[in-house]
């Protein structure tokens, strides 16, 4: 099983940001309303994710770190109606195979929990400990036992860039969750979790940029659209400022980002892109996430309709702008 875990680990755990992603998604699946992320040295030295979610029951602690023990998928059909973010039961075993993990979790409010220590896939300790309800996962010395993998890591700044980019998008996707992100003691992001997307965007892009954001809100029979787009005079040199959230998941879809771009049509200087955070809601049966569950790419069955809807909505907001 160790070998299987290390092989799978290479697929699930590409770099430190993959761990942040898997841990934070588990926290969201557990219904957390507050998620704190602490990172040291771009995540290569330490990644810690603390949440106030449902916690892991004592009898499930060990099983959570062993392959497929907890897969939430019951049949192939379930893939089309995924509600939770995790559904493969591979993340924790993969993480534990290539690092030193300490998991403290409590499912009850009584102040008693369990601490599990796993290094390179082997359990080192499992004991009772004082803990408030929720889960506190610490991952140290990533890839310490797979030096070939470690060699492929880029600079601390690059690894941190992947982590913060991921966390910024996630915070914009979940304005009802209070997030904080710290790197080497510096606070990089703090959101209130009060549902105010504009506050999250201010935390991500700064308050002066937030003042140049225009609210978007519309719906038709098939779709809802809600969020903010920047005034055409507030732009970026790349598309990274566009966050598209579909039914609560951040996605990448060129048709959708293309629709946003074409609404700006002649308004933007060449090679400039707007800032946008848009939440799209639609019937899940019109989305095919099955294409690649680990990736962000999705397909829509009525893509042209969706593209036209988004473009119309944003165009009408920009039309109302007097510059
Ligand atoms: P998956 O998320 O695909 O089920 P993971 O390996 O990511 O698989 O997690 C295994 C299981 O451990 C989860 O299904 C969940 O039951 C439990 N778990 C992991 N992290 C948390 C957390 N932060 N809070 C509560 N339960 C958790
Ligand atoms: Mg998971």
Q: Answer yes or no: is the ipTM higher than 0.95.
A: yes
Average pLDDT of 45-67?
A: 94
Mean confidence (pLDDT) of the chain: 89
pLDDT score at 266: 86
Confidence band, pLDDT 50/70/90 cuts, at residue 8: low
Distance of alpha carbon 96 from alpha carbon 66, whole angstroms: 9
Ligand nearest to the CA of residue 82, numbered in listed order:
1
151-156 long-range CB contacts below 8 Å, 24 or more apart? 153/15, 153/16, 153/42, 153/44, 155/42, 156/41, 156/42, 156/44
Ligand nearest to the CA of residue 104, numbered in listed order:
1
pLDDT score at 168: 97
pLDDT score at 52: 98
| Top mutation candidate among 86, 93, 103, 107 for ligand 1, by most atoms within 8 Å of CB | 86
**Residue ranges of the alpha helices (H) in the chain?**
2-12, 16-29, 91-97, 147-151, 156-173, 197-205, 207-210, 254-264, 303-319
| Top mutation candidate among 21, 23, 26 for ligand 1, by most atoms within 8 Å of CB | 26
Greater model confidence, 55 or 301: 55
Cα of 70 from ligand 2 centre, angstroms? 9
Average pLDDT of 136-145?
A: 97
Average pLDDT of 21-46?
A: 97
Confidence band, pLDDT 50/70/90 cuts, at residue 75: very low
Check if 32 has its Cβ closer than 6 Å to any atom of ligand 1: no
Which residues does 105 contact at the CB level (< 8 Å), separation at least 6?
55, 56, 61, 113, 114, 116, 131, 134, 135, 136
pLDDT score at 303: 87
Residues 167-198 pLDDT 10s: 999 999 999 999 999 999 999 999 999 999 99
Confidence band, pLDDT 50/70/90 cuts, at residue 253: confident
pLDDT score at 80: 44
Confidence band, pLDDT 50/70/90 cuts, at residue 76: very low
Confidence band, pLDDT 50/70/90 cuts, at residue 292: low
Residues 105-125 pLDDT 10s: 999 888 899 999 999 999 999
Cα of 26 from ligand 1 centre, angstroms? 5
Closest ligand 1 atom number to CA of residue 87? 3
Residues 79-101 pLDDT 10s: 444 444 444 678 999 999 999 99
pLDDT score at 106: 97
Residues 212-249 pLDDT 10s: 999 999 999 999 999 999 999 999 998 889 999 999 98
């Amino acid at each position: 099983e160790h070998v299987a875990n290390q092989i799978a680990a290479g697929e699930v755990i590409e770099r430190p940001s993959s761990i942040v992603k898997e841990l934070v998604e588990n926290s969201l699946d557990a219904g957390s309303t507050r998620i704190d992320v602490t990172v040291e040295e771009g995540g290569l030295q330490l990644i810690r994710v603390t949440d106030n979610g449902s916690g892991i029951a004592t009898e499930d602690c060990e099983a959570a770190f062993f392959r497929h023990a907890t897969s939430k998928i019951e049949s192939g059909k379930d893939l089309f109606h995924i509600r939770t973010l995790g559904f493969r039961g591979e993340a924790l075993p993969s993480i534990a195979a290539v690092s030193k993990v300490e998991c403290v979790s409590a499912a009850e409010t009584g102040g008693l929990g369990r601490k599990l220590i796993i290094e390179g896939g082997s359990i080192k300790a499992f004991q009772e400990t004082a803990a408030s309800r929720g889960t506190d996962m610490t991952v140290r010395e990533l890839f310490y036992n797979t030096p070939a993998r470690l060699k492929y890591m880029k600079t601390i700044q690059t690894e941190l860039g992947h982590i913060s980019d991921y966390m910024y998008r996630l915070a914009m996707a979940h304005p009802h969750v209070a997030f904080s992100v710290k790197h080497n003691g510096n606070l990089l992001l703090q959101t209130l979790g009060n549902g105010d997307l504009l506050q999250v965007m201010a935390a991500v892009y700064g308050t002066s940029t937030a003042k140049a954001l225009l609210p978007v809100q519309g719906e038709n029979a098939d779709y809802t659209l809600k969020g903010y787009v920047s005034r055409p005079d507030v732009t970026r040199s790349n598309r990274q400022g566009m966050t598209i959230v579909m039914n609560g998941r951040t996605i990448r879809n060129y048709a959708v980002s293309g629709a946003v771009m074409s609404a700006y049509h002649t308004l933007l200087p060449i090679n400039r892109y707007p800032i946008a955070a848009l939440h799209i809601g639609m019937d899940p049966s019109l989305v095919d996430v099955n294409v690649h569950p680990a990736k962000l790419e999705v397909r829509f069955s009525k893509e042209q309709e969706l593209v036209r809807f988004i473009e119309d909505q944003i165009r009408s907001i920009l039309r109302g702008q007097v510059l």
